[in-house]
Amino acid sequence: MKKKLTINDIAAQANVSKTTVSRFLNHKYDNMSEATKNKIAQTIEASGYQPNRQAQTLKTASTHTIGVSVADLSNLYTSRLLKGISTFLHQTKYQMIIMDADNNLQREQNNLQVLLNENIDGLIIQPLAHHPDNYQIIQDNALPTIQVDRYVEPFTWPAVVSDNFQKSVEVAQLLEKNNFKHVIIISNSITGISSRMNRVQGITSHLQSIDISYELLEIENSNDWQIQLQFKIKESSKKVAIYALNSQVLWPIMRVLKASNLKVPQDVGVIGFNDDDLADLVAPGITAIEQQPILIGETATQQLIDNLNQHKSNTDITRIKSKIEIRNSL
């Protein structure tokens, strides 16, 4: 193992003081002779010296690390969000520390405390809770923060999310056009999750205005939702469609329909959010909303870094466009 070199070693080898080396490292060439500059450059090059990040941090109080708190690490939406963040960060001097809240409020709190202890320069959070009071700790530490996918209310930090409301209005219009008369909106827990709430608000606002009936099925609150769903569809006298608020419910729904021999779209229409890119392969081809999680991640990261660098300080909600892919399930 190579012995770790320090700034002192370089200073000694280059016959200058460590102050000068430090200046070189930080590109403060204001008044530095070409000679010394070259000499230092050479010895650093030759030795492969790398400054110690922790020592720099201790002195400058900037870790060049940003924290990322995600709701659940193990799904493709998250994965792509992270890809976007990583892609943007790659061209900066920042690293990321990712923490998984695992959909657990207590764990999310712990994670934030850990991130704070790490002295992160900024935070990207996909919040589990809906009220900023849950994140007092962020405010107390005046931590530069940006939200992704969801946001707390009242408004506290900028956010980058999908165009959930607007796209859900379009879903309603599409259902109307296809003559559906009743809509079952299905989601896992909605309470406090702005993206899902916005989706419900979007579709219901339009359905109400055109007199199409609807109901909400929150499947985390029920153990027999599969039975209920079959029953609702089979007993309905109206032409019924399902709006699945995310892929975590869309695929289980498709399994239920398949198992109970309900044909799509003959017996029931289906539209939902497709986070796995396989909606085209699931028979009969599911009409689905495609979000842009990578772009959300990139955009959020850019805004956060810009904010840290004082280039500007965005404080708004940015809505990233998603797209409805028409297939054969309506």
Partner DNA sequence: CTGAAAGCGCTAACAG
Partner DNA sequence: CTGTTAGCGCTTTCAG
In the set 12, 47, 56, 107, which binds DNA (CB under 7 A)? 56
Closest CA to 115 of 131, 132, 137: 137
Quick check: 240 and 186 in contact, CB under 8 A? no
Amino acid sitting at position 242: I
| Minimum CB distance to DNA smaller for 45 or for 211 | 45
In the set 23, 167, 182, 196, which binds DNA (CB under 7 A)? 23
Kindly state whether residue 33 participates in binding DNA, applying the rule CB under 7 A.
yes
> Which among 124-132, 207-215, 281-289, 302-310 is the span making contact with a copy of itself, rule CB under 8 A?
281-289
DSSP code string of 105-159: HHHHHHHHHHHHHTT-SEEEE--S-SSGGGGHHHHHTT--EEEES---SS--S-E
Q: How far is CA 88 from CA 8, 122, 328, in A?
A: 34, 14, 36
| Minimum CB distance to a copy of itself smaller for 171 or for 253 | 253
Quick check: 305 and 324 in contact, CB under 8 A? no
Residue 312: count of CB within 10 angstroms of its CB: 9
CA 273-279-280 angle, to 5 degrees, is 145
Q: How far is the CB of 123 from DNA (least distance, A)?
A: 21
Kindly state whether residue 140 participates in binding a copy of itself, applying the rule CB under 8 A.
yes
Kindly state whether residue 57 participates in binding a copy of itself, applying the rule CB under 8 A.
yes
Kindly state whether residue 315 participates in binding DNA, applying the rule CB under 7 A.
no
Total of chain residues touching a copy of itself, rule CB under 8 A:
52
In the set 22, 47, 79, 292, which binds a copy of itself (CB under 8 A)? 79
Amino acid sitting at position 85: I
Kindly state whether residue 283 participates in binding a copy of itself, applying the rule CB under 8 A.
yes
Q: Which residues on neighbouring strands pair with residue 323, listed in sequence order?
A: 290
Could you say which residues in the range 141-180 bind a copy of itself, by CB under 8 A? 141-142
In the set 22, 36, 47, 75, which binds a copy of itself (CB under 8 A)? 75
**Could you list the residues that contact a copy of itself (CB under 8 A)?**
1-2, 50-55, 57-58, 63, 73-76, 78-80, 82-83, 86-87, 90, 95-100, 102, 107, 113-114, 116-119, 140-142, 251, 254-255, 258, 276-278, 280-283, 294
